[in-house]
Structure formats: structure tokens, C-alpha cells
Amino acid sequence: MEKLVQLINSYRDDLIHQTQQLVRIKSLEEEAKPGMPFGEGVNAALEYALALAEEMGFTTTNLEGYAGFAEMGEGEETIGILGHLDVVPEGEGWCYPPYGAEIHDGKIFGRGTMDDKGPVVAALFAMKALKESQLPINKRIRIIFGTNEETGMKDMEYYLKKEKNPDMGFTPDGDFPVIYGEKGIQVFSLIKKWPKGHNPSAGIMIKSIQGGTRPNVVPDKCKAVLKAPKEDIIRLEALLESFVAKTGYKLSMIQDHSAVTIISEGISAHGSTPEKGHNAISQLLLFLGELHDCSGGIFDFIKMYNRNIAMEYNGESIGCGFEDDISGKLIFNVGVIDADEKHVDVKINVRYPITSSGKDVLAGISDALKDTGIELVLDEDSKPLYVPQEHTLIQSLMKVYREETGDSDAVPITIGGGTYARAMENIVAFGPLFPGEEETAHQKNEFISIENLLHITHIYGKALYHLASVK
């Protein structure tokens, strides 16, 4: 094992260099081209990773641009490492070029450094060290390079049509110590339509409500455009001032003749942790619900919303407040609203407990919305992931993690988010983020520290040895 450690330490400069080279490839999904189902940038990253693996002496395969893999060892069983080379858009506000892979203060900055290119390179060098150490293993080890994790996982759908699922393995696409359970994830819409002009309040009419960007993000902006006579605008202004004073919510009003725009500002957060944010849609609808003399059309929907959802994020009042001892409470996030004089469409992201089912969630909500005329439309349902803590995979990974970090009290965890492990059976997320560290994936100024890049390479090297040598 000492030889393995020495080899990984000797790779330090090359490990850094290859991570930088891969990060410099802008691997965003683009228009498909022949042999490049997700565009040129993603394909360039795949070809680079496969070429690097070949230089290390591994046998490689390119599955028509959908995915690729590199392999070592022999045996009937296969240990898999599942990593992805595609990235999310860089966004704005970076201190350093998002595809520059510059090093500052011991950190490599760039889109994909943490999610997932740095960890993929670390796993590849861990395989190289294990191969060159000549430590005895009795299983094959295969690193799978995915290309569509961020926008649909069609890469793994294709892979599994061509290749077998590894017997077990990990993805460096989550958190340490080990994620042994992930909640089920649903995205659905609450839709209600009514005839145009069916907004029969005495004076104030809601022309539109727009807010949010994606179902799995807590919205930090929402606005409503209202039309009202002058006397109602004065009343509306006083009501808003009173509401803000009472709640502390950040709402403001802009007047343009008979049109009024109410702007709601919240705090953005990931949909798996809505308690860390503040929902701009919910606080705006709570205010609009204060217009007690208004009814019909969208006002009836708003009343339902404030009665069954409001600022809750565990689904208690809308019939899906499920909970279990393994993964905790259901998580309910309202992410997007689109409403006008004819309809309202609210998109919701739910993370339901491991022991529950998507059917349970839909049945509970449907019952709560009975007789409201609101249509519940399911867009997607990703079932929970669960590998028992007693499983050899979990026990082996935890053993290595505790030894390598000195954290003897570390225990495996469950999460409300989703990792690449969902794409295959018997795969769990294992790093790269250490407990208590800043999460920079998908954020501006994403980075991985060089110290951690080397550290996870050691962890992955020893984990692969334990998994590939256990009888």
C-alpha cells in the first residue's frame, strides 16, 4: 500500500496539469453532430479523457460519443467509477476566466473543477497508481466517462443498452463520507385554466404573475402586474406597506397610470434545501391573498395556494408531508409560476423519502386538491436510491474514508439531492466534497483545492484496491 501512496504523490504535477487541460475544454451541451450527440465541446472532452487513459496503458472504448470507458484488470466482476465530463453554463461574475483553469491561493478555478472533471482525473490517476503498484486485485476496474449528466442522463441510457451495469462502484459526484441513500425526485405542475376575463373582482385585476427559473431552484424574484382604478391603487399601496411591516418580506410597488407592478425579492437556494432560501413566489402570493374582497379566477387559486402551500417546504398542508427514519422529511419546493388572465401554471420540485413512493405523493396532493379544478401534471419521477449500510460497498468505502481522514466517527449519509449514482444500480456517491467545506459546484468561481485533489486521489486509489481485491 505504501507503493500506492508514493506513486500518487509522484503524479502531483501531472494530476494538476491534466485537470487544467480538461477544464479548459468548454464541454457544454450543444447542437448534435455526426458522432457527437451532445455537441463538439462535450465530444472534445470525451476524446481527451480517452486519449489520456490510453497513454496510461488502459484499454479504451468510445460508445459513439454518448460515453466512453477505460479498463484495467481481469475477473468476472467489475468495479465501476462513474464520472461525467459535461458541465453547466458558466454564468456571470467570475473573478477568474471560467475556462482558464488558473491557479490562485492553491486552488484551481474553473467550471467543472469540482463537478466533475477534477474528481474524474483524480479517479483516473488512482487507477494508474493501482496498476503500476502491481497490488493484487481479482476484479476488473472500469472508469466510465459520461457526457450528459447535467441535461438528462441520456448518455447512461445509451451505455446500458450496450454494456452491463458494473457489479458495484462509486461516482465522485457528491459528498463524503458516503451517500447511501438519495430521496426520490418528482417534478410536476399545478395548472388551472378559466375563460378570459374571468377575474370578476370589484376593481383590482391580476394581469400576470411571473417568477422563478427552474423547479429545483428556490426563486429569488417574482412579479405581479395588476390593473386597478386610482382609489384601489392607494388602498393597495397602504396594504403593501402594512404587509411588509408585519412580515419583514421584501416587496415593492411600481405604478404606471392604472397598471401596478408588485416586485417580490427572496433568497435563492437549491431546491433540495429550500429552508436555506426564501421563496419569492410564496411571499408574493401571500400578499395578494390579503386582497380579501377579490375572488374568482386566479384569486381562487391564490387562496388555495396560501391554504395548502404558503411558506411550507415539507408538504404538510397539501397531503404529502411524508417522513421516514432513513432520509427524513419530504422536501417541497415551488420553483416557477407563470400566470395570466387565462391560466396559472406552477412548477414544483419534490424530494420524497426513500420508503415512500411517487404514487403516494401524487395521491396525497390529488386528495388535498379535490374539487378545486386544479390539474396535477407529472413531468418526471426519479425513484429513490438506497444501498443498505451493511452492504460491502458501503462498508469498504467507509473504512477507507475513516482511515484516510482520521475521522473515526464518520457515518454514511442520505441526501435530498440527486447525484450521478441514480444512473446505475449499486453505485453510490463518494466525494469529492468533504464535510463542512464550501460547495462551489454550479456556482461562480467554482474551484477545487490542489490539496483536496491529491487527497481524493489517495482515497480513490485505496478504495479501488479494497473493492477490487475483496473476495
More confident residue, 37 or 371: 37
| CA distance linking residue 329 with residue 322, whole number of Å | 6
Rounded to 5 degrees, what angle do the CA atoms 140, 142, 143 make?
A: 155
**103-104 β-sheet, strand order:** 103-104, 107-109, 447-449
3-state SS, 175-231, equals ECCCEEEECEEEEEEEEEECCCCCCCCCCCEEEEEEECCCCCEECCEEEEEEECCHH
CATH superfamily of 2-182+385-469: Zn peptidases (3.40.630.10)
Run of H or E including 269: strand 269-270
| CA distance linking residue 381 with residue 432, whole number of Å | 26
C-alpha cell at 375: 390539474
Residue 458 has pLDDT above 80, yes or no: yes
Query: So where are the chain's domains?
Result: 2-182+385-469, 184-381
Q: What is the mean pLDDT of residues 56-73?
A: 97
Q: Which residue has the cell 475544454?
A: 25
Q: How confident is the model at residue 92 (pLDDT cuts 50, 70, 90)?
A: confident
In the chain, what are the helix, strand and coil shares in percent, each to the nearest 5? 35, 30, 40
Run of H or E including 259: strand 259-265
C-alpha cell at 328: 427524513
C-alpha cell at 467: 473493492
CATH number of 184-381: 3.30.70.360
Burial class (CB in 10 A: 0-12, 13-18, 19+), 55: exposed
Residue 202 has pLDDT above 60, yes or no: no
Note the pLDDT tens digit of each residue in 282-301.
999 999 998 866 667 889 99
Q: What is the mean pLDDT of residues 3-11?
A: 95
Maximum separation of any 2 CA atoms in the chain, in Å: 84
Sign of the Cα pseudo-torsion (71, 77, 79, 80, in order): positive
Amino acid in the structure at residue 467 = L
Count H helices and E strands in the chain, helices first. 11, 26
Residue 182 has pLDDT above 70, yes or no: yes
Q: Calculate the alpha carbon distances from 101 to 95, 235, 270, 447 in Å.
A: 12, 55, 25, 9
CB 392 within 8 A of CB 167: no
Note the pLDDT tens digit of each residue in 217-242.
899 999 999 988 888 888 889 999 99
C-alpha cell at 280: 419569492
More confident residue, 199 or 56: 56
> Which positions are annotated as active-site residues?
86, 149
Give me the percent of the chain exceeding a pLDDT of 70.
Answer: 97
| CA distance linking residue 263 with residue 195, whole number of Å | 26
Residue 195 has pLDDT above 80, yes or no: no
| CA distance linking residue 153 with residue 332, whole number of Å | 23
Say what the pLDDT of residue 197 is: 54
Residue 137 has pLDDT above 90, yes or no: yes
Among candidate residues 383, 277, 384, 399, the one with its CA nearest the CA of residue 333? 277
| CA distance linking residue 210 with residue 66, whole number of Å | 36
Q: Which residue has the cell 404606471?
A: 256
Run of H or E including 298: helix 298-308
Q: How confident is the model at residue 418 (pLDDT cuts 50, 70, 90)?
A: confident
C-alpha cell at 460: 480513490
| CA distance linking residue 332 with residue 320, whole number of Å | 9
Q: How confident is the model at residue 196 (pLDDT cuts 50, 70, 90)?
A: low
Q: What is the mean pLDDT of residues 265-284?
A: 93
Q: What is the mean pLDDT of residues 198-206?
A: 66
Say what the pLDDT of residue 293 is: 66
| CA distance linking residue 350 with residue 145, whole number of Å | 29
> What average pLDDT does the structure give for the chain?
94
Query: Residue 136: what are its φ and ψ, rounded to 5°?
Result: -75, 125
Q: Calculate the alpha carbon distances from 200 to 95, 194, 303, 409 in Å.
A: 51, 12, 15, 62
Among candidate residues 46, 66, 42, the one with its CA nearest the CA of residue 54? 46
Q: Which residue has the cell 381562487?
A: 300
Q: How far is CA 371 from the centre of its chain?
A: 34
Note the pLDDT tens digit of each residue in 332-390.
999 999 999 899 999 999 999 999 999 999 999 999 999 899 999 999 998 999 999 99
C-alpha cell at 256: 404606471
Give me the percent of the chain exceeding a pLDDT of 90.
Answer: 84
Least-confidence region, from 199-208, 328-337, 432-441? 199-208
Say what the pLDDT of residue 6 is: 96
3-state SS, 119-171, equals HHHHHHHHHHHHHHHCCCCCCEEEEEEECCCCCCCHHHHHHHHHCCCCCEEEE
Q: How confident is the model at residue 134 (pLDDT cuts 50, 70, 90)?
A: very high
Residue 152 has pLDDT above 80, yes or no: yes
Say what the pLDDT of residue 93 is: 92
Q: How confident is the model at residue 442 (pLDDT cuts 50, 70, 90)?
A: confident
C-alpha cell at 469: 481485491
Sign of the Cα pseudo-torsion (386, 387, 389, 390, in order): positive
Q: What is the mean pLDDT of residues 394-404?
A: 97
